């Protein structure tokens, strides 16, 4: 269960290119480093990241949870992160990975105490030089969410080969 969601209200007069923006969450108790397990983490810090900028978006706070295999706690975390493209964690179980992937969220496991600012810079560099498949997929999906509906309206033609 999500205990608290604290979001930053952004100035709508500042243009933002949502098509080239990733929403990325970081499991962090100190808001500076990755130091939490996905299933028992209490804070997820969310940033909007482009190849040249990043901005803090929100903090998701959960009550303390034990690493006891309680699958119910995962559902609330996945739902709260819906809309994110990825989540960086110190550790994560197989069930959580499956649930996140089903929700279109790519889980990334990193070493404990890896700096969030370092991860953001590294991701921006990868976006510019050699974007990973999950980044390419996120940008393609965001550009035209109705593309399959339009294709269906155009109809299908069977070809004999």
Mean pLDDT of 130-150: 74
Q: What is the pLDDT of residue 63?
A: 85
What's the CATH code of the domain at 115? 3.30.420.130
161 in any annotated domain? no
Residue 58 is assigned to a structural domain of this protein: yes
- Is residue 127 predicted with pLDDT exceeding 60? yes
Q: Residue by residue, what is the 3-state secondary structure of the chain?
A: CCCEEEECCCCCCCCCCHHHCEEEEEECCCCCEECCECCCCCEEEEEEECCCCEEEEEEEECCCCCCCCCCHHHHHHHHHHECECEEEECECCHHHHHHHHHCCCEEEECCCCEEHHHHHHHHHHHHHHCCCHHHHHHHHHHHCCCHHHHHHHHCCCCCCC
Q: Is residue 8 part of a domain?
A: yes
pLDDT (mean) for 11-33: 79
Q: Is residue 119 part of a domain?
A: yes
Domain that holds residue 51: 4-154
The number of domains in the chain is 1
In a domain, 86, yes or no: yes
pLDDT of residue 137: 87
In a domain, residue 69? The reply is: yes
Tell me, yes or no, whether 144 lies in a domain: yes
Q: Answer yes or no: is pLDDT of 117 > 90.
A: yes
The band of 73, judged by pLDDT with boundaries at 50, 70 and 90, is: confident
pLDDT tier at 116 (50, 70, 90 boundaries)? Answer: very high
Is 160 inside any structural domain? no
């Amino acid at each position: 269960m999500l205990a608290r969601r604290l979001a930053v209200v952004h100035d709508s007069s500042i243009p933002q290119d949502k098509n080239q923006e990733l929403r990325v969450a970081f499991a962090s108790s100190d808001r500076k480093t990755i130091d939490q397990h996905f299933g028992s983490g209490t804070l997820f810090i969310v940033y909007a990241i482009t190849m040249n900028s990043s901005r803090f978006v929100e903090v998701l706070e959960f009550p303390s949870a034990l690493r006891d295999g309680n699958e119910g706690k995962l559902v609330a975390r996945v739902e709260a992160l819906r809309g994110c493209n990825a989540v960086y964690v110190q550790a994560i179980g197989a069930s959580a990975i499956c649930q996140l992937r089903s929700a279109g969220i790519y889980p990334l496991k990193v070493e404990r105490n890896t700096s969030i600012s370092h991860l953001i810079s590294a991701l921006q560099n990868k976006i510019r030089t050699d974007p990973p498949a999950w980044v390419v997929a996120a940008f393609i999906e965001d550009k035209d969410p109705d593309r399959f509906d339009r294709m269906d309206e155009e109809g299908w033609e069977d070809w004999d080969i």
